[in-house]
Amino acid sequence: MIVRDLGYFKMPDPVGLKDDNEWLEIPRISRTIPFGYKEHEEDDKLLIPIIEELEALELAKEYLREYSFREVAGWLSGRTGREISHIGLRKRIQKERQRKSKAATYKIWLKKYEETLQKLEEIESRRTGAKKEAESRAAP
Q: Given a cut of 90, is residue 123 above it in pLDDT?
A: no
Per residue in 56-67, pLDDT tens? 999 999 999 999
Q: How far apart are CA 103 and CA 91, in angstroms?
A: 18
pLDDT in the model for residue 77: 94
Q: What is the mean pLDDT of residues 80-94?
A: 94
27-61 core/surface letters (b: 16 or more CB in 10 A; e: else): ebeeeeebbbbeeeeeeeeebebbeebbbbbebbe
Query: Where are the domains positioned within the chain?
Result: 3-86
Sign of torsion over alpha carbons 95, 101, 104, 106? negative
Q: What single letter denotes the amino acid at residue 54?
A: L
The upper half-sphere exposure of residue 76, i.e. CA atoms within 13 Å in the direction of its Cβ, equals 29
Per residue in 125-134, pLDDT tens? 877 665 665 5
Q: Given a cut of 50, is residue 113 above it in pLDDT?
A: yes
Per residue in 33-49, pLDDT tens? 999 999 999 998 999 99
> pLDDT band at residue 1, thresholds of 50, 70 and 90?
very low
pLDDT in the model for residue 85: 95
Q: How far apart are CA 104 and CA 89, in angstroms?
A: 23
Helix spans in 37-85 (H): 51-63, 69-80
